[in-house]
Structures are given as C-alpha cells and as structure tokens.
Amino acid sequence: MAQTVQATAVAPTTETQPDVELRQVLKTFGAEVAVRQLDLRVQPGEFFSILGPSGCGKTTILRMIAGFESPTAGEVLIQGANVSRVPAHRRPVNTVFQSYALFDHMTVRDNIAFGLKIRRMGSAQVRDRVAEALRLVRMEPMANRYPAQLSGGQQQRVALARALVNHPAVMLLDEPLGALDQKLRKQMQVELANLHRQLGITFIMVTHDQEEALSLSSRIAVMNNGQIEQVGTPSDIYDRPHTPFVADFIGDTNLFPGRVDRVYPAQVQVTTESGLRVLAPAMTPAASPLQNIVVSVRPEKINLSLSAPGSEGNCYQGQVSHLMYLGTHLHCVVRLSSGEALTVRQPNRAEGALAVDTPVYVHWAAADCLVLDAA
C-alpha cells in the first residue's frame, strides 16, 4: 500500500518543473473563442484555483488538462510531458465533479474500487488501496452503503476517495462543493484543505466562489473573457489587484473612475465625472495630469459617523439608502450628495444603530485607496 505523504503547499519557483503547464493555448468552439492564447504554470504541491464568472473559460481549461477537450492550438504539459493529444484515461490526473457522478447501484466500496478494477489491478492491492482511500476521507463506517443512503457531504467524500485511490499526480476539482448548502460547504472546505496538506499533491480547482478560492488556495488565476487577468496569492489578488475587473470581482469594492487633476509628491487627486474629488496614493510610474484612472476602496476601509470627523483624507456627506443586517456586520449603501452610491461594511454594534435615511459622513484615508490604470 502506498504511504500517504504529508506536506504543505509548495511556493512557486522558477527552478521547479511545473506539474501542469499551458503554453499559448487557444480553444475555439466554431466561431466562439473560449480560451485566448493562454499561458499558465502550476507548481508541484500547489492548491491552485481558477476563478472567474460564468462563461469566462475556466471550466474549458480544466477539461483540457483532464483530456476531455483538446486545445485548438498550443500545448498542455503534465510533469513536463506534452499530453495535448493523449486521451483522458492515460493522463496522471483525476477529476472530481460537482455532480459527484457516483454509480447508484454500487456500494461506496465498489464505487471507489471501480477504476482500479478497470485497470485489472490485483484484488489484494485493490482492497488495500480502497481501505487507504476510505481512511483518508473518514468513510470506513459507510463502506457498504449505497449513494442514496448518504448525505451530500458524504457523497462528496466518496467522489474524492474515488479520485484519490488512483494516486493521481494532479487532482482536478470542478466546482466540487457547489451542490452543498452553506454550512456543509464551509465544513468541506476545511476537510479539503486538510486533505491537500496531508497528501501534498497538486490540486487545481475551478470555482466562481471568491471566498472559497481565497480561503483554500496557494495561488489564484482570475479569468475574464477567455484570458487571465491576474495570477497571485490570495493576499496579492485581494489587496493588490492589477485591474478594475479583478478589484471588482474579488470581494466588494467601490470604484471611482475619473481623471487626475493634481499630482502631489505622495498623492494624486482624482475628479470623477460627477465632480467628486478623491485623494489616493501616487502611482508608479507617476501619473500625469488628465490621465484616466480608477480609484478602488474596499467597503471595510470606509468609516461612518453621524458627526463631521476631524481626520484628514477623503470625507463626504451622504445619506443611508440601504441597510442589511448580516450578523457580524452591517452592509450599508450610502448615497453621497454628488450622486455616487458607496458600499460600506461596518462591525455590528448595538450602540448608535443606523437606519435608512440617516444623514452620515463617510471618510477614509488616502492610503486605503488603490489606484488602477483605466486601460
């Protein structure tokens, strides 16, 4: 029986041969371009997520790695070998789908053993491999049950075990937790992270859930319209987005498109179309007057007060137009006098409760802004 290796995710380095590499991959379906000249490297041991809205091409990428689709042009490499025209069953990868795809007429044990038996593996080795997989996903007591007798989370564990029993070099996860309710999804996220650490193999997950990608991933690729907008660690993607799309897609943000009208040594002043003036950190390279840029500020960086604050920075008057109670915090929309609507996230405190139509001041430091090139 193969021994389980315990390891943590490996940070990408230029010296390491990637487990998965896509070189100038193009994928078209008739006249429709699904993936555009894409380059991607996933290093050994990473938990790598491909994140983006529906129709951006992320599932097509996963299917090309798995072998369910072939690239129209370019190369797909797994552990250095070009597998662009290699059929799916001959690739060292296994895929876990959102639908689980379990055989209803088979027990849990038989579902897990199915792929090994197809490969004509010896019965003793099949027994040991299945026992190992059952232990990994903590499903030994359920080995003789059928899928209909399992909960959604248990079925997902069986699907994971069926993929892991083949000892793949790379695990592919296609929206693996999408069919679960929120509480069970959170539990399975923890289990998936623990499983990745325990095995030390490369996981590549496709998801449209930003929070899931941020909490699980070593690195994330954010896709838009068949292209990768940015690849980076979760903190890079959230705190230092490269484009307005990434800033807006990853979590909530407030975007202020405008033009630079003043350049200071450490700051720029941007004027929006409505005339709102926003102070933000200086750009690198330095911005020029009249340059079109976008200022981003996260909702949690904005402060609300009922009286005028004494602090310097960005401060505006407005009125609460929407208020949503979310337990740990309040989600507020404040309509400024200039017409902009700001999303603000405030800790939930019993004192000084806000209400719709309450006049307020919103304020935040210039340093809490991020300046993005509008192009």
pLDDT tens, position by position, 53-69: 989 999 999 999 999 99
Task: Give residue 187's region: left, alpha or beta (phi > 0; psi -120 to 50).
Answer: alpha
Q: State residue 223's pLDDT score.
A: 95
Alpha-carbon distance of 272 to 374, in angstroms, equals 13
CB 348 within 8 A of CB 288: no
Alpha-carbon distance of 44 to 226, in angstroms, equals 25
CATH of domain 252-373: 2.40.50.100
pLDDT tens track for 229-277: 999 999 999 999 999 999 999 988 999 999 998 888 888 899 998 899 9
Q: Quick one: three-class SS letters along 217-240?
A: CCEEEEEECCEEEEEECHHHHHHC
Alpha-carbon distance of 243 to 230, in angstroms, equals 8
Architecture of domain 20-92+168-245: 3-Layer(aba) Sandwich (3.40)
The residue behind tokens 């992270």 is: 193
CB 148 within 8 A of CB 121: no
Alpha-carbon distance of 124 to 268, in angstroms, equals 70
Q: State residue 347's pLDDT score.
A: 83
Quickly list DSSP for 244-307: HHHHHHSS--EEEEEEEEEE-SSEEEEEETT--EEEEEPPSSPP-TT-EEEEEE-GGG-EEESS
Sequence ranges of the domains in the chain: 20-92+168-245, 252-373
CA dist 27 to 18, 30, 71, 83, 224, Å?
Answer: 21, 10, 5, 15, 15
The CA-CA-CA angle for residues 216, 221, 222, to 5°, reads 105
Alpha-carbon distance of 165 to 126, in angstroms, equals 9
Alpha-carbon distance of 4 to 167, in angstroms, equals 10
Q: Which amino acid is at 219?
A: R
Helices in the chain by DSSP H: which ranges? 58-66, 108-118, 123-136, 152-164, 182-199, 210-216, 234-239, 244-249
Of 172, 205, 227, nearest to 35 (Cα)? 227
> How does DSSP classify residue 337?
T
Alpha-carbon distance of 221 to 342, in angstroms, equals 28
- Using a 10 angstrom Cβ sphere, with 0-12 exposed, 13-18 middle and 19 or more buried, the burial of residue 88 is middle
pLDDT tens digit at each of 375 positions of the chain: 333 333 334 444 445 899 999 999 999 999 999 999 999 999 999 999 999 998 999 999 999 999 999 999 999 999 999 999 999 989 999 998 877 788 899 999 999 998 888 888 888 998 999 999 998 888 899 999 999 999 888 888 898 899 888 889 999 999 888 777 778 888 888 888 988 998 899 999 999 888 889 999 999 999 999 999 999 999 999 999 999 999 999 988 999 999 998 888 888 899 998 899 999 998 776 667 778 889 999 999 999 888 888 767 899 999 999 988 888 888 899 999 888 899 999 887 754 567 888 899 999 999 999 988 876
Strand partners, 82: 77
